[in-house]
Homo-oligomer: A and B are copies of this chain.
Amino acid sequence: MDTLSKIAKEVQEETKVRLHRRNVERLIKAVLTTGDFWKIVDLSDLPVPAAAGIVKRLIKEGVLFINDKEDILLTQKGHDLVAELGISPVVDYSCSACEGRGYPFYADKELYRTFVELAKDRPKAIRDYDQGAVTPETTVARVLFIDSRGDLEGRDIIVMGAEDDLTGLAVALTRKARRVLVIDIDERLIEFDKRIFKELGIDNAEAMVWDLRNPFPEEMLGKFDVFITDPPETFAAFRAFIGRGIATLKEEGCAGYFGLTLRDSSIFRWKEFQETLINEYGTVITDIVQDFNHYMNWEYHPETRAAQIAPVRRQPKDIWYRSAWYRIETLPNFKRWNEPISDEVFYLDEEGSTT
């Protein structure tokens, strides 16, 4: 077995995150590009426990070392390995205008400006609910993406359980939807939205406290054209957010939007999510835009498992947590999943660490 496969196997045994040799190769590629651990996680597209485990293992093997500034660097042995395997740094040709999303936030400057002004007083992200908001540019780009797909104007839209991003607020601000219902477990966010809806006279938008672990009542099912959400990447949360999101949709041809990251779930788990979407829920995936969602750093980061298992004490300075933007569509005989969640593992499991 070659070096990279051996390391993948060992770190998998230790962390329980599934890995293959190219995951290790990709992490080395990231180290060639940046010494910052959090940027390495970002560029590796790996769950934090896996990236941390690989870095520690490669240090033990004498391939990497950490200098006094807490930069992660290659040793001479590391450079030899890189030359032998022909590994090169990451290149990035993504568009600086739209930040690689394909939809630039400034395509509606007025919406962006209004949103930024309102969002400045937003409630702070708290750890209890796995919060960590996306940048205002992300939120506005989401709305423009959704509008460009025909899923905003005249639609009944539910925004579920990720209102720390204020996506529901941004959708409502366009005044294009027929109806907007925002639900979140965090009363502070619901009160925030309610106050703004009232102040601005947006009377087709409502906000309501709701814990997505509970099934929706009958009157919520089959009532919306579009759902938008951003779940934690556990299986339980995937069902609670996305299964239930699909349950709110009216008929075939309706759409769902959500973020899924590789920072808190492996590519192996992504496949299982896709199996669920296609085989069990009867939906089709129409879009996956990598690194669409950029998350601002959250104050509670030092308390997270991610910070504790990291090979460095240094905090993230820049954006390092990003997720892909999925769009799905319902097809005939799609399934309305709406069971109670008994699973204890809602926010965190072996692949997750940022809660």
A contact residues vs B (CB 8 Å cutoff): 20-23, 25-26, 29, 86-88, 90-98, 100-104, 107-108, 144-145, 147-148, 150, 153-154, 178, 251-254, 267-268, 270-271, 274-275, 278-279, 283-290, 324, 329, 331-332
Instruction: Give the residue of B93, B95, B279 whose beta carbon is less than 8 angstroms from that of A275.
Output: B279
Alpha-carbon gap, A205 to B305, bound state (A): 47
Alpha-carbon gap, A26 to B268, bound state (A): 35
- The 7 A-B pairs at the shortest CB distance, nearest first, are namely A22-B253, A97-B97, A95-B98, A93-B144, A86-B154, A271-B284, A93-B107
A21-B253, A253-B21 given; A92·B148 CB < 8 A: yes
A/B interface sample: 10 pairs, CB < 8 A:
A20-B332, A22-B254, A86-B154, A93-B147, A94-B103, A95-B97, A101-B102, A271-B284, A274-B274, A287-B289
Alpha-carbon gap, A96 to B153, bound state (A): 22
Alpha-carbon gap, A213 to B254, bound state (A): 37
Alpha-carbon gap, A253 to B26, bound state (A): 10
Alpha-carbon gap, A353 to B72, bound state (A): 55
Instruction: Give the residue of B25, B97, B178 whose beta carbon is less than 8 angstroms from that of A98.
Output: B97
Alpha-carbon gap, A178 to B90, bound state (A): 16
Is the beta-carbon distance between B87 and A95 smaller than 8 angstroms? no
Is the beta-carbon distance between A286 and B271 smaller than 8 angstroms? no
- Residues of B within 8 Å of A274, CB to CB, are 274, 278, 284-285
Alpha-carbon gap, A324 to B197, bound state (A): 37
Alpha-carbon gap, A290 to B285, bound state (A): 11
A148-B94, A278-B278 given; A20·B252 CB < 8 A: yes
- Residues of B within 8 Å of A267, CB to CB, are 284, 286, 329, 331
A102-B102, A267-B329 given; A148·B93 CB < 8 A: yes
